[in-house]
Amino acid sequence: MEAESSPGRVERASLSLAGTLCHSLSEAVDTTGTGPIFVSSYRPGPHEIELPAPLKSSAFTYDNAVAAIALIACGEVGRARRIGDALLAALARDRSFSDGRIRNAYRAGPVGDGSLALPGWWDARQNLWAEDAYQDGTATGNVAWAALALLNLDAVAPGGGYRAGARRMLGWIAGQTGDPRSPEGYTGGVDGFDPHQTRLMWKSTEHNLDIHAVAVWLHRLDGGAEEARIAATARGFLDAVYARDPGVFRLGTTPDGKLQPIAKIALDTQLWPLIGVIDAPDIWRRALDFAERHLAIRGGFDFNEDLDGLWVEGTAQAALTVRFLGRSAEADRLLATIAGQLSPSGFLFATDVARLTTGIAIGPASAEPDFFYFRRPHLGATAWGILAAVGWNPFTGRNVE
């Protein structure tokens, strides 16, 4: 199969997509405002005049963290620092807390002076200012991704305070989410409105992978015993949730600490351990094989096993993973699928269908799975498209080739 695409053609296709997306992302930073900024996560879809009220001003932390890393991969360190400096401002100037947490979302635009604004909207029907419980909360994985963005920045702009910020974020994770229940690991974070938020007692495979990557990176830089302990704990969780038969990573645990069934899976959980753990065992590659058998759709991948649409961000993650594993022809085909989802705005669409299901609930108050992706231009998908096209591993700050 490798003979289908020559290295030169793969490189040209990757560079073309990378150039287009890097230009669009750089332009998005420039048009957001001056100084430290958060970039809007979504733009209106093909049949929308404007975004729904809860998304109009929302800049999700995860999307912006990946965007900062993607800008580094583009060679746009100055623009990446503007997002990184916004993350540091968020860490230092939260409106209610001073313990090292990062919110799940901030209000898009320049951060300005004083406490950082969270997303919200005027609800005319109720005659009040409304906010979203998830956006005001703190997911452990989002804190870890903010730390990864700062560590990627520290590697190219040392002295900017980024390493200290990442260290403080990891401190919040260790102090607030550590859970000794077997399998030991780190819980999901907190949800809800200030000042009394609900602790999320489930543990996520994805979150613990993110934490492991941050702790390993900081340990490599500083040699701290605490970072080594956190890395080992999170790695132990990954080993515990890997089901050797049929070769798949579970989503994590339920709130009562039991392992999630393997009947319910997610794509990113199968991919990230392969590129986020430096000494990942060969047997973990079976998780990619499982994803290719059960999640593949229309030249790419769905989020989960229901195969109701293409998840563009996840397809980019798969492209990066197979490129990391030396399967350049497959990466090239996935990049072609991704390029086909370029919106007129220059961002990648989140999906190729009107609404993509994930099978996941947004918060503890959700009675049914209510986390969806819609066919809207998406900052996170665009950033992952860049990482896949350039070949940049966000968990290590290095090129995969």
CATH 3.20.20.80 fits 2-393, yes or no: no
Residue found under tokens 């995860």: 62
Instruction: Quote the pLDDT of residue 1.
Output: 31
How many Å apart are CA 140 and CA 204, to the nearest integer?
A: 9
Residue found under tokens 């950082």: 116
How many Å apart are CA 235 and CA 176, to the nearest integer?
A: 18
Residue found under tokens 């399967």: 327
Of 382, 377, 315, the residue nearest 25 (C-alpha): 382
Instruction: Quote the pLDDT of residue 356.
Output: 97
How many Å apart are CA 119 and CA 133, to the nearest integer?
A: 10
272-281 CB burial, b ≥16 within 10 A, e <16: bbbbbbeeee
Helix pair angle (61-74, 77-92), 10° resolution: 150
Q: Quick check: helix, strand or coil at residue 294?
A: helix
Instruction: Quote the pLDDT of residue 367.
Output: 73
Tell me the β-bridge partners of 129.
122
- The string of DSSP codes covering 21-64 is HHHHHHHHHHHH-SSSEE--SB---TT-SS--HHHHTEEEHHHH
Instruction: Quote the pLDDT of residue 368.
Output: 80
Of 63, 191, 186, 60, the residue nearest 138 (C-alpha): 191
- The single-letter code of the amino acid at 245 is D
Contact between 301 and 314 under an 8 Å Cβ cutoff? The reply is yes
Question: Largest Cα–Cα distance in the chain?
Answer: 63
Cα–Cα distances (Å) from 221 to 82, 88, 236, in that order, read 23, 19, 22
What phi and psi, each to the nearest 5 degrees, are found at residue 355?
A: -150, 125
Cα 53 to the center of its chain, rounded Å: 23
Q: Take residue 168 and report the two structure tokens written for it.
A: 């403080």
Cα 303 to the center of its chain, rounded Å: 13
- The single-letter code of the amino acid at 151 is L
Instruction: Quote the pLDDT of residue 72.
Output: 98
What residues have CB less than 8 Å from 83, skipping those under 6 apart? 29, 36, 37, 38, 39, 64, 65, 67, 68, 71, 149
| Domain ranges for the chain | 2-393
- The single-letter code of the amino acid at 4 is E
How many Å apart are CA 377 and CA 348, to the nearest integer?
A: 5
Cα 94 to the center of its chain, rounded Å: 22
pLDDT digit string (tens) for the chain, length 401 residues: 333 444 445 466 677 899 999 999 999 999 999 999 999 999 999 999 999 999 999 999 999 999 999 999 999 999 999 999 999 999 999 999 999 999 999 999 999 999 999 999 999 889 999 999 999 999 999 999 999 999 999 999 999 999 999 999 999 999 999 999 999 999 999 999 999 999 999 999 999 999 999 999 999 999 999 999 999 999 999 999 999 999 999 999 999 999 999 999 999 999 999 999 999 999 999 999 999 999 999 999 999 999 999 999 999 999 999 999 999 999 999 999 999 999 999 999 999 999 999 999 888 878 788 899 999 999 999 999 999 999 999 999 999 97
How many Å apart are CA 392 and CA 13, to the nearest integer?
A: 16
Instruction: Quote the pLDDT of residue 363.
Output: 84
